[in-house]
Structures are given as structure tokens and as C-alpha cells.
Structure 1
Amino acid sequence: MNTLTKMALGLLGQLKPEPAQGDAADTIVLPAANMSGGMPLMQALAQRQSQREFAPEPLPQQMLSNLLWAAAGLNRPALGGRTAPSALNAQEVDVYVALPNGLYRYAALGHALHLVRATDVRRITGYQDFVDNAPLDLIMVADFSRMKLVPVAQRMAYAYTCAGAMAQNVYLYCASEDLATVIRAWLDRDALAKAMGLGSEQQVLLSQTVGRKAPYPLLPTAEGNR
């Protein structure tokens, strides 16, 4: 679906998810993340970039496991510490995974995906057309009910800071594994929140598309690679 169609449907309140493709398991227990190897940090930083052409093939489960651990996994289990910082350790940002067969929430404790809705919400994760068919779209969602110790005026800034750190973790993992990714803030948040069944204290922050690079990437757009 092209951008103009999505925007028109959004104005009419008709931007909706599609039926799931195949069966959706209630829980997907991911294999243990591989925390060794990979590209050296400085080399990954040199390779970090946004790309907008994705092959449709799904990522192997081990790669999905590593990706999600990089984004927001437990790296200090005894302390409950994660790979991305969170003010006062509120852990207010959840990572959702939009797959063709359903919408899942990543649980760092247990390193598993839990089914939220058996629908395909990928096309609602952004106005760009490539989100519809990429293998997965990550959605960072703030849960302000976990931020009682943070002043109300500061909660959104804190949550975006945490989500930004998660997104950069994903960028570096993708650079290391030669995957394509792009972070996106241009989306219909109301339509996506409705499709995800979010509550009043939850807020969609950012989306990030991930997948293997398309065989023939397009030339950079006027927006350019970020």
C-alpha cells in the first residue's frame, strides 16, 4: 500500500491491520542469544546506516533472538540490567515485534515473545510502503504506569531516550550482521495504538524495520541515509 493511500485511510480512521499469515503461537521461546563474536564495535559504527530496501524472507530464529537481546535483553541478570539504559530502572519501554503471523511483545525476562494479537499490523507501523512486506517491524512503546517516580513533564523525554538507545543497539547489531534497518517516527500513532490494543498509559514512540538487504538496493533518496 502506498503512502498516499495510507494517509487517506488514516484520515478516515480506516487504516487497519491485515489478517495474520499462518498460525501464531501463543509464546515463542527464543534460543539463547549468542553474546560472543560479531563485528568489532568501531567497525560496526563505521558501517551503521539506514536502508529502506528489504528482502521479504524471515530472519532465522537465532538471528531474531540475537537482535532482540541486542535491543533490550538482560545483560546483568542478577541486577535486572539490560542492554539499553532506563532512568531509575523503570524499564518503561517495551519492544513489540510485528510479524506476518502476529504481533508479539518481547519479554527480556525469559527471553521470549508473547502473542498480543493474531493480526498482521506491519503496514500500520509507518506510512512508507516498504514496511508492509519487510520480515519484521519493531515497535517501541512506553508504559507510563511504570514511571511513577519520574515527574510527569519528564516522562516522555526519558522514554524517548530509552527507545533511542534500543534503536541504536539494533543499528549496531544489523551493521555487524549485514542486515538492513531504518528507524521511523513518521507513522499514524493512533491507528497503530488501536491495532495493538494499547491502554491509556501506553504510547507508541518509534518503529524500526529490520530484514536482509534487498538484492538490488535503490539509490539514496532525497532524504538520504541517516
Structure 2
Amino acid sequence: MTDIAIDFETDTFPLPPPVLPVQATLVDALRQRTSSRSFSRDPLSAEQISALLWAAFGINRPSSHGRTAPSAHNWQEMDLYVVLAQGSFRYDALCHRLNLVKAEDLRAITGTQDFVGSAPLTLVYVADFAKATPASPEERHFLVGADAGCIAQNVYLYCASAGLATVVRGLVDRRLLATRLGLKPSQRIALAQSVGLPALQ
């Protein structure tokens, strides 16, 4: 990863202001949206990570802390974990920064497919079911899944507009990854999504 210097005294990295590509229209992004499992090993820049996270689930209405993706009942139960070679981080959308969770490379356990360990970045969508109330267990699972899907589609559209490759994944050893990320019992992993530059053909 380039251009990122983590403050290990506070275990945070403030991201640069998000700058999204302006050359692609929504129609262009929808036409180019695709899943790819072939990634360059080159790291993403701090600027690319900043724009990616803001597009995924950033604050787009500061006065109300509104997000770029909807949240059922406004639960705001979803956290984005960013898994990189340098470590795993939780995205703090309000401050637009990364908070260090684990200073080790956990990419290989973010999924069961061979490519996940070499993709430069994986987003892990973690829902805190303690925030998803009141609702029946069935309704909570359904709505949490819908919330994760909305964020994943934002990532797809951003990647299509920015020339990045991505694929969303449900094949995750959730128990193992949750343990390594230090998640609480109320937190559950919904999906994971790999992102990177496309592999050269």
C-alpha cells in the first residue's frame, strides 16, 4: 500500500479527502460493472482507498451523518473492516479514517478461494446484531443481508468507474475470521469483497 503512514501511537490513519472519478457516468458504471477474480498484486494508494470507502459507506450528509448506502430502520449496524497486507482496520466513516484492529496480514483467511490472499484489499462487512432491534431474528438476518448488499453494489459501481477489479464473496470461514478480528459475540460477518487493480492480461 502506498502513501499510507499509520500513527502507531494512536493506531489510526486519517484518510485523504475522497476524490471520485468524474469521467464516468452512472450509466457507464452500470454497463461496466462486473465481477473479477484476477487482481494485480500492486497495492492501492491512500487516495484510492479513501474514495473506495467513502463510496461504499461514507458520510454524504454531514449534518445528519447520512451515508452513501441505506440502512434498514437506520440501524447503522454495519461496520467495514479493511484487510490489507499491513494489517486489518475498521473504517471510521465519521472521521474518515482507518483504526487499526490487528497488525498482521489476514487476507488469506477472508475467504476460501485461492485468490483472496493475494488481492491487495478485502472489505469485510460486519453487522452488529445488538443494534438491529427491534425485529425478529428472521427479519434481522434478511435486512442485514440487504444492507450489506447495498454497500457491496456501491463498491461495484465505484470500481467500475475507477478502473478497479472487485468481487463480492459469501464463502468465508466466519468463525475463524471473527476470532482473528476480535469481533464481539453480537457481531456477525455478512460478506467479504476483494478489490484491486486488474491483473495484466
Q: Distance in 2 between matches of 1:52 and 1:81?
A: 32
CA offset digits 1:27-55 (Å, max 9, x no partner): 01001112561410011000000001101
Length, aligned pairs only: 195
Q: Which residue of 181, 195, 199 corresponds with 1:210?
A: 195
Q: Which secondary structure does the structure 2 equivalent of 1:160 belong to? A: helix
Give the structure with higher Rg (CA).
1
Q: Distance in 2 between matches of 1:24 and 1:212?
A: 26
C-alpha contact (below 8 Å) 1:24/1:115 kept by paired residues: no
Q: Distance in 2 between matches of 1:126 and 1:72?
A: 22
C-alpha contact (below 8 Å) 2:121/2:196 kept by paired residues: yes
**Alpha-carbon RMSD:** 1.6
Q: Which residue of 92, 96, 99 corresponds with 1:114?
A: 99
Gaps of 5+ in 1: 1-22, 217-226
Residue 124 of structure 1 is matched in structure 2 by 109
- Aligned-residue sequence identity (percent) comes to 49
How far has the Cα of 1:171 moved from its partner? 0.3
TM-score, normalisation: structure 1: 0.83
How far has the Cα of 1:149 moved from its partner? 2.9
Q: Which one-letter code corresponds to 1:56 in the other structure?
A: R
Q: Distance in 2 between matches of 1:100 and 1:208?
A: 15
C-alpha contact (below 8 Å) 2:82/2:122 kept by paired residues: yes
Q: Distance in 2 between matches of 1:153 and 1:215?
A: 43
Q: Which residue of 170, 187, 196 corresponds with 2:155?
A: 170
Q: Which residue of 167, 182, 189 corresponds with 1:182?
A: 167
Residue 62 of structure 1 is matched in structure 2 by 47
Q: Distance in 2 between matches of 1:169 and 1:104?
A: 20
CA offset digits 1:192-216 (Å, max 9, x no partner): 1111111110001100000000002
Quickly say closer, same or farther: Cα 1:160–1:24, change in 2 above 3 A.
Answer: farther
Structure 1 stretches of 4+ with a deviation exceeding 6 A read: none
Residue 161 of structure 1 is matched in structure 2 by 146
TM-score, normalisation: structure 2: 0.93
How far has the Cα of 1:56 moved from its partner? 0.9
